[in-house]
A and B are shown apart, each in its own frame.
Chain A
Amino acid sequence: MKHVPGAMFGATLGTAVGKAVGSREAPVAGALVVVLVVTSVVNPRFLSDQGRFDLMVAIAITGLMAIGQTFVLVMRHVDLSVGSVLGLSAFISASAVKGQPDGSLLTVLILGLAVGLAAGLVNGLLVAALGLPALVVTLGTLYVFQGVQALLTGGTRINADQLPTSVVRFGVSGGLGIPWLMWVCLAAALVGAVFLRTRRTGRDLYAVGSNPPAARLVGIPVVRRTLLAYAVSGAAAGLAGVLFLARFGGVDSNAGLGYELPVVAACVVGGVNILGGSGTVAGALLGAMLLKTMGVSLSALSVPEFWQQAINGLLLIIAITADRFVFLHRARIAREEAIRLRRAIRLAAERELEVSR
């Protein structure tokens, strides 16, 4: 066969494009583009420099938590404690540099990550080592972490003037037109996506989520992988705490309250199966982008903002309904294919029998 590099490249590109269009993320990305275009046509200020900046800052926090949550969801677990972890990490890392105008941002970032990681390991140990149901454990730690945070804050607030300038500036500036907070989120998405997609350890998470007993039988260290997933989710929530601190220039005992369900919702809208085994980091981030953008665009379209929750809820239901129908459709096709194949084999066998006679 003659080697035609151009055609080969074209064919590869063709399948890549075909794959991208047929993927679960495509309709979410499409919906996102439609929302962006329609809103910016109606209200040009929506995508002005300031508008874009605000939108991306709003996405960054939920997006980062959704990326972490994806690790847990694909393993058929869930992490409901992320909102409380965010609050805890934001408060602890803020207290460490409170009243130091020239405190370092790095300290805050490292502390936030460490708090998140520790909280994630607590969840992971309870779920993995003791084999406890994830929903119950993380609901329990949601309350415990929230209570610890509230005890530590004792009803006080840490304000922007008590924070290092580096932290406050981190929240309001950016590079290449993208806020630093969004850069953090994008970097996490890149690392997370590459890890889950290409690393063997990452693929293990999907294997465990698809069929836990089978995963154990083929020798996947399920306990260690579960610990890893919760550590990632905790660390992401901890980092999100620092982003929260930078974005709002402060923290009080309400930080992160009620964030858990929107984060799970973002993942599910982006195609992460809540029953484990499938879903991508890119999808989760797109889901977070779509839900957040919808909210911001509603107010840009001067639709009363309180429709946001209703529309987000509806979006989630539509997404999982569509997933279900696609699944049923594919299952039917696979079944028909199997029947056809079986018939063909039988026909071939009969023909061979006749020939041999």
Chain B
Amino acid sequence: MSRFTWDRAVIVLLVATFAVGAVLDPNFASGSNLGFVIQDIGEIMLIALPMTLLIMTGEIDLSVASTAALAGCVLGWTWRESGSMAVAVVAALATGVVCGSVNGFLVTRLGLGSLAVTIGSLGLYRGLCYALLGDSTVADFPTGWTDLGYSTIPGTSLPYVAPVLVAFAVAFGVLLHLTRTGRWLFAIGQSAEAARFAGIPVARLKFWLFVTTGAVSGLAGIVYDLRFASARPDGALGFELAVIASVLFGGVSIFGGVGTMWGVAGAVLFLGSVRSLLQLRNVPPNALTIVTGGLLLGSVVVPVLAARLQAYREQHASDVPPAAPP
């Protein structure tokens, strides 16, 4: 048997949840509920993918939810002002790119810490949402577009966001695990300095990771708007911590250099299906927060305890044949 790693544990947990859920509640494993779960985790899953790459390199972006909200507000505002959804979508994506570039510039060019920078830009971008829309919401998106947000693909029970999620997850998985850039990201996470000496363009890569995270957050903002058929300045509030919790729960080390994309995708799915299962079993939603937090804590406590146990056993195993006196 191969070594215990947390990302494998997540996949096991995911499968177990589905097995237990299917036994406990016939509605759980139904197609429509699955579609609902996927729709529910859409934005978190999207943002978690590039966030994995960022955390992999030892950086973090707390401004993702604000970026998504700002992109969503730009979508609504541009739609209201121009009357063209195509223009609005482009503007929203561009907003995400700009937000990510600002973060990337501050972190890689000025050498500021990404935690502090993105706490700042979290406030900044969220403030701009209110500056743009005030306390109003834009809720008159064309139905052709909002149908994309909350109806299902004809003939299936899957939401339109499902193929997008699969495509993005596969693309990011390939990028991280099968390309040279992906190996570089692991190397940066293990030791940024050693990576730089090995000729890896650390600053440039990190900058583009921030841009990518911004762009995908912008896309998530569009998905969010279409799902709720409205653009509102307080959209996606608090998503940043949910995203980071998912990534960490998926087995990515907060110190960088360790983790897998399937672990993260599995973690988002797992948390989404646990949430759905608990809701179906009429567990109060507050218990859900405890479960999320407890799981997150477990994901760091269990490996540490396992390692300690292992070390303890090895020590005692070597104690058994007493060392011959010299």
Chain A residues within 8 Å of B, Cβ to Cβ: 78, 80, 126, 130-133, 135-137, 139-148, 150-151, 154, 253, 258, 261-262, 264-265, 268, 274-275, 304, 306-317, 320-321, 324
Contacts and interface: CB of A to CB of B under 8 A. Distances in A.
A63 B130 CA distance: 26
B142 interface: no
Interface of B: 60, 62, 106, 110-113, 115-117, 119-128, 130-131, 134-135, 233, 237-238, 241, 244-245, 248, 254-255, 284, 286-294, 296-297, 299-301, 304-305
A126 B287 CA distance: 22
Contacts of B130: 304, 306-307, 309-310
A306 B68 CA distance: 18
B297 A144 contact: yes
B127 A261 contact: no
Most buried by B among A258, A308, A317, A320: A317
B112 A321 contact: yes
Contacts of B294: 140, 143-144
A147 B124 contact: no
Contacts of B284: 151, 154
B286 A136 contact: no
Given A316-B123, A324-B110, A324-B111, 11 more contacts: A130-B304, A135-B60, A135-B115, A139-B244, A139-B293, A151-B286, A151-B290, A261-B62, A306-B135, A309-B126, A312-B127
A142 B240 CA distance: 13
Nearest to A318: B120
A350 B33 CA distance: 85
A320 B111 CA distance: 10
A132 B116 contact: no
Contact of B289 (A144, A264, A311, A320): A144
8 contacts: A78-B115, A133-B254, A141-B293, A147-B291, A151-B286, A151-B287, A306-B131, A307-B127
Contact of B292 (A131, A143, A151, A316): A143
B304 A317 contact: no
A320 B113 contact: yes
Contacts of A320: 112-113, 116-117, 120
Contacts of B125: 310, 313
A316 B304 contact: no
A317 B117 contact: yes
B112 to A, nearest CB: 5
A309 B123 contact: yes
A309 B127 contact: yes
Given A143-B292, A151-B286, A320-B112, A135 B254 contact: yes
B100 to A, nearest CB: 15
Contacts of A314: 120, 123-124
Contact of B121 (A132, A311, A313): A313
A216 B233 CA distance: 47
B98 to A, nearest CB: 15
